[in-house]
Structure 1
């Protein structure tokens, strides 16, 4: 009968120590629960995933990775606190399965547990992701829902850097899904080719919730975590090799705009101790939301940094080391094009306007971005609702 609550199991990268991964999992869970369903996050953490995220150093990815790890030794305390905050958020806010699963075959015991299995979002069908790059293909099977004997749908799953030949490898499994979707428009045609099915274009789960819903569901982001002074948030996934040059540019930017820069760079957290910069490496998911919400402006090279900037109506810039034309082909660039915000791309920090930072209202979201975002969100929620609750005649 219509409106009957379903038992839904979600499987995704819910336990990566990555803001986008954890918050997209939370958003998918929240939106499905808001629809009236009983939602469980399948607590699948492969040994490789746990090794990658839970070891502070020497993760065995070559000499460059080891040298990068050595540069992070001075901030070991901040990194440990960050890990602790991620685990607290995961265990407090996600409806985890009673058992934690480590290997693909262990999930077979869940075969008859759910009415619907939801796979996604994130790069769960990308063999080159941190969780899957060093292991056999079978470790992608849980995300391809090979264990589930129920209705199977994907939500906004990304193949990212997979080649066409690699996608052929997972085509037969995707063909057995009841509904498929992808978060990058460019991925839809590629997945349609290998699955023989229509692939719906939907938004990232973090955009399924409005800014007001984020504040409602995660009350901790109502409080500032860096004091009451205005700040620009720099959120980047830059590597240690580039870090010092970027930090020097941020110091100059701080002086020019007349406010401090909160530096959130999980991949290079050893920001210099100086008056211009605030090192917030220890931020967990709740602190990340707080930093985003209360920032005077945001500078980012991150996909989810871009999405949350837009969702919270921030004055923001997307920084690229390449050309603007190249950036338009990335997943960040695709979102900016759809929302009419490509003018926010910069290739140098000197292009950031001091007046725009200080005003905090440089972008008129009502001029088109909000309308486009609401349309994207409405379409995506409709896909999710229809795909999950579909009943055979």
Structure 2
């Protein structure tokens, strides 16, 4: 079957690109013609117009660095992702919908209220799959809302389109309540992020492009301004290698060969689990706190919620790292979790509309 995937494959974010790669690869290995619907709002392109309109003027160097990093990401996309023609807006998707038997939205925070309301600088329910013919089966795989309650203004818009999904699964346990609050009437599943579906071996092909990584260090992958913690972590654990600014294969290698990882990234945590790297996961604060359930959902499945810290504390981090992890047990639990995702995909491929 032909399967078009709508996700954040275009984002300059390692986890976003790798979850897109993982879902497409899993479906193609099953023998299906899976591809990325290359929807990227035109206002997300790196150019002078968006530099001004997206209010990046106070941060020109950051914008230039991101544009340069995007070129590295594009090398990965060209090599590993099959893409449709480019779509710059929901209007283009509606006027010339991509051919497919099934549309899949997800994973990642494709149903975040900010994406819904401002993804194109205006409300645009593209990731709710409001395009294409009535004969196309529509599913959400491990979609994330990025919050535990939807703002009312965005909820009023989302309620108009949530019923477009014939089958819907969420990544976080709180996503069930959010979907129901938006009026979804069908059965809901909680399934793993696509990066977990096929296990660590799914990335062997990517590793072959990178060689061996450095060893004997503490890796940190700290987003949302948390990189200021690096000097403290280095004081506590010795040599630190902050991750970022590198190619996608090199980012994976840095995690695979690290002695330990300190991160506030969900996907950083996933790859620590897959590659058997001791880790500490830091929670978000402030407006980003709505994203914390993804850590609890994931780590509760493998019995490692005790490796979550609400804020960095060297003494507590050292105590966590002193505890051994039974990786055999983790692998078994991760495989069971992955099976739940694979079972959902079987229903999806059978186009079973469960209401």
- Could you say which TM-score interval applies, normalised by the shorter chain? 0.7 to 0.9
Q: Which residue of 2 aligns with 1:223?
A: 212
Pairs aligned (count): 344
CA offset at residue 243 of structure 1?
4.2
Whether 1:351 and 2:316 are equivalent positions in the alignment is yes
Task: Select which of 335, 338, 354 maps to 2:301.
Answer: 338
Whether 1:143 and 2:124 are equivalent positions in the alignment is no
Distance 2:163 2:79 in 1: 35
Q: Which residue of 2 aligns with 1:90?
A: 77
Distance 2:160 2:107 in 1: 20
CA deviation string 1:142-166 (max 9, x = no partner): 2111112211111111112352533
- Report the CA distance shift for 1:70/1:216 in structure 2 as closer, same or farther (over 3 A): closer
Aligned positions of 1:1-393 closer than 5 A? 6-51=1-46, 67=58, 69=59, 72=62, 79-97=66-84, 99-111=85-97, 113-129=99-115, 132=118, 135-137=121-123, 139-140=124-125, 142-149=126-133, 150-161=136-147, 163=150, 165=152, 166-193=154-181, 194-216=183-205, 218-224=207-213, 228-239=214-225, 243-244=227-228, 246-253=229-236, 257-258=237-238, 260-264=239-243, 281-320=244-283, 330-346=293-309, 347=311, 348-353=313-318, 356=321, 362-367=324-329, 369-390=330-351
Distance 1:59 1:350 in 2: 44
Distance 1:56 1:303 in 2: 32
Distance 2:291 2:162 in 1: 28
- State whether residues 3 and 35 of structure 2, in contact with CA within 8 Å, keep that contact through their aligned partners in structure 1: yes
- Report the CA distance shift for 1:191/1:80 in structure 2 as closer, same or farther (over 3 A): closer
CA deviation string 1:103-160 (max 9, x = no partner): 21211355471111111111111122499357211x23x2111112211111111112
- Report the CA distance shift for 1:160/1:238 in structure 2 as closer, same or farther (over 3 A): closer
Distance 1:43 1:328 in 2: 26
- Report the CA distance shift for 1:336/1:328 in structure 2 as closer, same or farther (over 3 A): farther
CA offset at residue 328 of structure 1?
11
- State whether residues 37 and 98 of structure 2, in contact with CA within 8 Å, keep that contact through their aligned partners in structure 1: no
Distance 1:363 1:327 in 2: 28
- Report the CA distance shift for 1:169/1:355 in structure 2 as closer, same or farther (over 3 A): closer
CA deviation string 1:18-53 (max 9, x = no partner): 1111111111101111111011211111112225xx
SS of 2:21's equivalent?
helix
Distance 1:262 1:56 in 2: 35
- State whether residues 189 and 199 of structure 1, in contact with CA within 8 Å, keep that contact through their aligned partners in structure 2: no
Tell me whether 14-23 or 380-389 shows the greater mean CA deviation.
Answer: 380-389
- Report the CA distance shift for 1:159/1:79 in structure 2 as closer, same or farther (over 3 A): closer
Distance 1:56 1:318 in 2: 37
Structure number, greater radius of gyration: 1
CA offset at residue 70 of structure 1?
5.7
Structure 2: runs of 5+ lacking an equivalent: none
TM-score, length basis structure 2: 0.86
RMSD: 3.1
- State whether residues 31 and 209 of structure 1, in contact with CA within 8 Å, keep that contact through their aligned partners in structure 2: yes
Distance 2:105 2:257 in 1: 32
SS of 2:180's equivalent?
helix
